[in-house]
Amino acid sequence: MAFTKTNKDLANSTSGYAYVNGLNMYYEIHGKGAPLVLIHGGGSTIETTFGRVLHSFAEKRQVIALELQGHGRTADIDRPETFEQDADDVAALLHYLKIANASFFGFSNGANTTMKIAMRHPELVQKIIVGSAFFKRDGMQPPFWDAMKDVTLKDMPQKLQEAYKKVAPHPTDLVKMFEKDKNRMVSFKDWMPADIQAINVPALIISGDEDVVRLEHAIELYRLLPQAKLVILPGAHGEYIGEIETRQDENFIAATILLIEKFLDER
């Protein structure tokens, strides 16, 4: 079962659901042009991660934004969350939409999913933008893993909780989504450097100088990816795109958009 409905509030925009891999996945399409897929962070929605940048990208591109298993408008199903499964779900969505290949911009957990798409479905990938990504446990700031073991739903940012409840098909599933996100992180095992080196497409790595990802790790990722560029911007996790939990500086966000657009336009 799958359906598409037109969103009449936005020109050249549609939204709907696609039944992929047993999951009824929500997606939106905005604008026209070369496709750019946006993949949100953990515990997030399209709006909380990309609400400040999506429509700027859609001015000259076809933006495909989606919500992963158990997040936002995509209801959970009875299986664990993994970056590999998320990558396969996104790939299946593109096949459903008849999009042969695209560029991908993932933030945080969405950046890890983006790298897994490039590993598992290279035929779909033109370029990747990975924002605040990690591939090894020691890539995160030292307090991260100790804190992650003990977090509970009350530690989840209130704005993310509210955003989930606003759009989720089953708002009471918030705790289920939180626990699956937590378990994925707590059980994370390092990826092999050779798997990173096999991602042979143009890549733009973005990280903040006060990010949860260590600067040294962003540099290590840059050195492993064969066709990578690295940008370190001032600010916290996601501040460069105006993620909902961060300071909203329009000029700063506009500068990030210009950097990404330049990268996407390069031949």
pLDDT score for 3:
31
pLDDT score for 12:
81
pLDDT score for 248:
85
Q: Determine how many CB atoms are found less than 10 A away from the CB of residue 98.
A: 6
pLDDT score for 97:
98
The full set of domains in the chain, from first to last, is: 3-265 (3.40.50.1820)
E strands present in the chain: 3-6, 13-20, 23-30, 35-39, 62-67, 102-107, 125-131, 203-210, 228-236
pLDDT score for 11:
62
Phi, psi of 229 (to 5 degrees): -125, 150
Instruction: Name the amino acid, one letter, at 81.
Output: E
Residue pLDDT tens, the chain, 267 long: 233 333 434 568 999 999 999 999 999 999 999 999 999 999 999 999 999 999 999 999 999 999 999 999 999 999 999 999 999 999 999 999 999 999 999 999 999 999 999 999 999 999 999 999 999 999 999 889 888 988 999 999 999 999 999 999 999 999 999 999 999 999 999 999 999 999 999 999 999 999 999 999 999 999 999 999 999 999 999 999 999 999 889 999 999 999 999 999 998
pTM for the whole structure = 0.95
CA angle 26, 16, 163 (to 5 degrees): 45
pLDDT score for 188:
96
Q: Which residues pair with 236 in a beta bridge?
A: 210
pLDDT score for 10:
52
Integer Cα distance of 71 and 160 in angstroms: 11
